[in-house]
Amino acid sequence: MKDLILKRAYALDALIGFDCTKMEELRRNLAFEYAEQLEITKDLAAKAIDHTILSFNATEGDVLRICEEAARYGFAAVCVNPVWVKRVAEFRKESGAGFRIATVIDFPLGASTVEARVAEAEKAVADGADELDLVIGIGLLKSGKLRETYESMRAVAGVKCFLKVILEASALTDSEKVDAALLAFFAGAKMLKTSTGVNGKAAVDDVRLLRAVAGKSLGVKAAGGIRDKETLLAMMRAGADRIGCSSSVSIMENW
């Protein structure tokens, strides 16, 4: 698999033209052999969770509950829709909580213009977001518009915030998954994410693919359909170091 990924990276480089230092980084990533985590404690799992509420009808009360739970259980982050970022930042400041604030960009379709994506990202950062979960331009990718797909992510990476790119892997062919992961890597993603959880779910094989591209220089986030301890453990053992889920409290209480 790694040989195929590197071969495709060269083909994309010939088409688009990437920074040569990123190609060297990719070679190092592909040479990295991920060692499966055999012992994953409850505390380690909690520190990997992005406690998520992205439903269209989530109220302020729902969002504040998520924040309180994240603080109580020691979750890595809360992930909320952009409209709630400023309120979450206020809560964090008032409470002294240590979680990071993540929000989604061009969610869940990945179908906005570059200008709209950048504006949404800039506003989220101004409101207090620490991390941006950006949906890849799925329609662009499937249309073979690879340069446009790359540039739409690169523009958001320019906002200078920790960037996770959501590939929506379950909607892609195997070759599209490779292209999506590589384009996100070269565009400046700091973490590769499997799914939105709206249009697709995480799969162990997809996590392994993303870890191959990520090596030890990028993170991997599994999200979508992770509702119990066993699924969470499977994702982490496959190479996910962040887990996006809304069943976080249930997982912790039933550990």
For the segment 116-135, what is each residue's pLDDT rounded down to a tens digit? 999 999 999 999 999 999 99
Rounded to 5 degrees, φ, ψ at 99 are -70, 155
Where residue 178 sits, what CATH number does that domain have?
A: 3.20.20.70
- Residue 99 pLDDT greater than 90, yes or no: yes
Question: CA nearest 221: which of 235, 237, 205?
Answer: 235
Q: Determine the pLDDT at residue 36.
A: 85
Sequence-distant (≥ 6) Cβ neighbours of residue 1 within 8 angstroms: 209, 212
Q: Determine the pLDDT at residue 120.
A: 98
Q: What is the mean pLDDT of residues 46-75?
A: 98
Domain that holds residue 249: 2-33+42-253
Please give the tally of structural domains in the chain.
Answer: 1
* 79 token code pair: 């992930």
- Residue 39 pLDDT greater than 80, yes or no: yes
Q: What percent of the chain has pLDDT over 90?
A: 98
For the segment 79-89, what is each residue's pLDDT rounded down to a tens digit? 999 999 999 99
Q: Determine the pLDDT at residue 18.
A: 96
Rounded to 5 degrees, φ, ψ at 36 are -60, 135
Catalytic residue at 193? yes
Instruction: Please state, in angstroms and rounded to a whole number, the distance separating the CA atoms of residues 124 and 137.
Output: 19
Sequence-distant (≥ 6) Cβ neighbours of residue 89 within 8 angstroms: 101, 127, 128, 129
Catalytic residue at 133? yes
Q: Determine the pLDDT at residue 117.
A: 98
Catalytic entry in 164, 177, 190, 193: 193
pTM over 0.75: yes
Q: What is the mean pLDDT of residues 7-27?
A: 97
Q: Are 50 and 243 in contact (CB under 8 A)?
A: yes
- Residue 66 pLDDT greater than 80, yes or no: yes
Give, for 129, the enclosing helix (H) or strand (E).
none
Catalytic entry in 50, 106, 133, 241: 133
For the segment 165-223, what is each residue's pLDDT rounded down to a tens digit? 999 999 999 999 999 999 999 999 999 999 999 998 999 999 999 999 999 999 999 99
Residue 34 pLDDT grade (very low, low, confident, very high; cuts 50, 70, 90): very high
Q: Determine the pLDDT at residue 67.
A: 98
Question: CA nearest 17: which of 181, 135, 183, 153?
Answer: 183
Catalytic entry in 164, 177, 201, 221: 221
Instruction: Please state, in angstroms and rounded to a whole number, the distance separating the CA atoms of residues 253 and 255.
Output: 6
* 64 token code pair: 């504040």
